[in-house]
Amino acid sequence: MAQQAQQDSAGVIARPIGRGRFQAEISVPGGTILADEPVEAGGEGSGPTPYELLSAAFAACTAMTLKLYAERKGWTLPPFSVEAVHSRGPAHDLFTRKIIFEGALDAEQEAKLLEIADKCPVHRTLMRGFEIVTHVGVPGEHLTPEPPASHEAQMEQACSD
């Protein structure tokens, strides 16, 4: 219960849990995720890698934004999924995204949805870059996450024509 109260007032919290070389428990609002590295990299393969989690955020935000846009337009989209992978090259990192529609779209809808996908908040964050600030804290002192409605507002903005 104390950990839940702690999580409610904090951002995402990761802790190494002592099993395996890389396994970490990540507390997020609504649950817990295990992160790990694959067996071939010395992990136990018990969860997604950190880059897979980053790719998951990118794919999830894209899917949410597309669904929101279609609802606003009154479009009935066929079932769809968004796949994202990360690769690291010598000069830069690359995220590749594939949107898979299980039915036909007209060319105009497809073009507009691709445009909107590039406006999803996580896509914009990745493209814009960001500053990282790190400091040492004390137990019981937590960071203040962005308000939950902020991401939804950013998706709404991405959907505006």
- Whole-number average pLDDT of the chain: 90
Give the tens place of pLDDT for each residue, 7-20. 455 689 999 997 78
Give the tens place of pLDDT for each residue, 25-74. 999 989 999 999 999 999 999 999 999 999 999 999 999 999 999 999 99
Q: Once rounded to an integer, what is the mean pLDDT over residues 86-101?
A: 93
Would you list the domain boundaries of the chain?
A: 1-47, 49-130+146-161
What pLDDT is stored for residue 78 in this prediction?
A: 97
Topology adopted by domain 49-130+146-161: GMP Synthetase; Chain A, domain 3 (3.30.300)
Kindly report the pTM of this predicted structure: 0.86
Residue spans of alpha helices (H) in the chain: 2-8, 50-73, 107-117, 121-128, 148-159
Q: Check: CB of residue 105 under 8 Å from CB of residue 112.
A: no
